[in-house]
């Protein structure tokens, strides 16, 4: 029977081989911890997956919902060309401040911008600005609003846009249709939306690793 120590050992092996950190990534996690931010960033090999997905997309514009200390932001922003743009939305000013410093140290402050405030407000503002469509959206904020975030992602998308939704497995709790956990309910609502929306084609995958037992969903905006 496989278990957390084994998942961690295998993740450490994969990460050391394929997604090793560097000074900017290590410093981002160090300073996030020092500032008291929770260690709920993506694992390094997941960050590398996001970066590969952005590269496969040929992404020039990335939207992230949920910045924390900017760890996933660094992985994603590094996939962009010099004239690319990443906009990351963060509710807590103290998280955004740490993230901005981490992005600047990584040399990504010209490409990546952190906007503070409730993401639902920032998304409405982006739409009102007539911002260009995003090529990839990474949704990783308050899970209760997951379906709303998928809806906004669609409004800010083009045919072919990739939407990535984090934390959909929830240690298996996602199968509980009667759950009163707002994160489970919000996640199921988003998955239902992906399943039935005529403009979305998606799947979901379970994961184990340093962050336990969870999963992610991918959805592509149809042509």
Residues 6+ apart with CB under 8 A from 140: 42, 64, 65, 66, 72, 166, 167
Full 3-state SS string of 143-161: HHHHHHHHHHHHHCCCCCC
User: Of the candidates 102, 122, 167, 207, which one interacts with ligand DHB according to CB under 6 A?
Assistant: 167
For the record, the structure tokens of 138 come out as 């990474």
Q: Residue 200: phi, psi to the nearest 5?
A: -125, 140
User: Of the candidates 64, 90, 135, 166, which one interacts with ligand DHB according to CB under 6 A?
Assistant: 166
Using rule CB under 6 A, residue 46 touches ligand DHB: no
Judged by CB under 5 A, which stretch of 56-64, 108-116, 141-149, 166-174 contacts Mg ion?
Answer: 166-174
For the record, the structure tokens of 100 come out as 């901005």
Taking alpha carbons only, the member of 16, 23, 66, 19 closest to residue 166 is 66
| Residues paired with 219 in a beta bridge | 163, 202
Judged by CB under 5 A, which stretch of 95-103, 144-152, 162-170, 188-196 contacts Mg ion?
Answer: 162-170
Count of residues that bind ligand SAH according to CB under 6 A: 18
Nearer to Mg ion among residue 51 and residue 167 (C-beta):
167
Residue with the CB atom nearest ligand DHB in the bound state = 40
CB of 78 to ligand DHB, least distance (A): 20
Q: Work out whether strand 85-90 and strand 112-116 pair parallel, antiparallel, or are unpaired.
A: parallel
Using rule CB under 6 A, residue 144 touches ligand DHB: no
Q: Taking CB within 5 to 8 Å according to partner kind, which of ligand DHB, Mg ion, ligand SAH, none is near residue 91? A: ligand SAH
Using rule CB under 6 A, residue 44 touches ligand SAH: no
CB of 160 to Mg ion, least distance (A): 24
Sheet containing strand 85-90, strands side by side: 112-116, 85-90, 61-65, 136-139, 162-166, 212-221, 200-209
What are the residues binding ligand DHB (CB under 6 A)?
A: 40, 140, 166-167
What are the residues binding ligand SAH (CB under 6 A)?
A: 40-42, 66-68, 71-72, 89-92, 95, 118-119, 140-142
């Amino acid at each position: 029977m496989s278990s957390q120590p084994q998942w961690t050992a295998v993740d450490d092996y994969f990460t050391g081989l394929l997604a090793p950190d560097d000074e900017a990534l290590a410093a981002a996690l160090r300073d996030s911890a020092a500032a008291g931010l929770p260690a709920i960033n993506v694992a390094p090999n997941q960050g590398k997956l996001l970066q590969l997905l952005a590269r496969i997309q040929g992404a020039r514009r990335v939207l992230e919902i949920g910045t924390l200390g900017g760890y996933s932001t660094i992985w994603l922003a590094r996939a962009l060309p010099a004239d690319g743009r990443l906009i990351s939305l963060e509710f807590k000013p103290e998280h955004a401040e740490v993230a901005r410093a981490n992005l600047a140290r990584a040399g990504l402050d010209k490409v990546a911008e952190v906007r503070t405030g409730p993401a639902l407000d920032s998304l409405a503002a982006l739409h009102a600005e007539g911002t260009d469509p995003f090529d990839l959206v990474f949704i990783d904020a308050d899970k209760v609003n997951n379906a709303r975030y998928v809806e906004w992602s669609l409004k800010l998308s083009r045919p072919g846009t990739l939407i990535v939704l984090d934390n959909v497995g929830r240690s298996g709790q996602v199968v509980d249709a009667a759950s009163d956990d707002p994160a489970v309910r919000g996640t199921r609502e988003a998955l239902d939306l992906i399943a039935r929306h005529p403009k979305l084609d998606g799947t979901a995958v379970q994961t184990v690793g340093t962050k336990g037992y969870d999963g992610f969903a991918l959805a592509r905006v149809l042509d």
